[in-house]
Amino acid sequence: MRAVVQRVSRASVGVSGKIISAIPTGVLVLLGITNDDGEEDIRWLVRKIANLRIFNDADGVMNLSLLDVKGDAIVVSQFTLYAATKKGNRPSYIKAAKPDVAVPLYESFVAELEKHLGKKVGTGVFGADMKVDLLNNGPVTIIIDTKNKE
């Protein structure tokens, strides 16, 4: 799994002109899923995102996690995170999991994050043409890959 985690002052997701998810302070997570991802990837990534110390403490130092600030989250499926661009100018998405694999893993990821945070997590609509609006705070943007745990 690959995640782009953005610290936000606000974020929302719209589909067909309607806002379906919106949050104040928290994180927007763009989530890419590949064919060999599984429950272990979900558990590791959820813990990592919930505990990333990317929020400022009283001294303005990034010492607090999403759990510490009781922040919110939106998770948006993003198959393009697995774009292969080595050859030519048209990205290949062959490494991205097909919906029959990706949807259950996406739903499981959202459920696990909700359990970990103890609150509802906003989502997009899998496979839809979504409009994502955010105010990136910092900006703080972190890329995490469960197959490359740096």
Active site residues: 78-80
- Please report which residue ranges of the chain form alpha helices under DSSP H: 39-51, 66-69, 99-117
Query: What's the gap between Cα 18 and its chain centre?
Result: 21
Under 8 Å between Cβ of 29 and 76: yes
> Helix-strand-coil percent breakdown of the chain, rounded to 5?
25, 40, 35
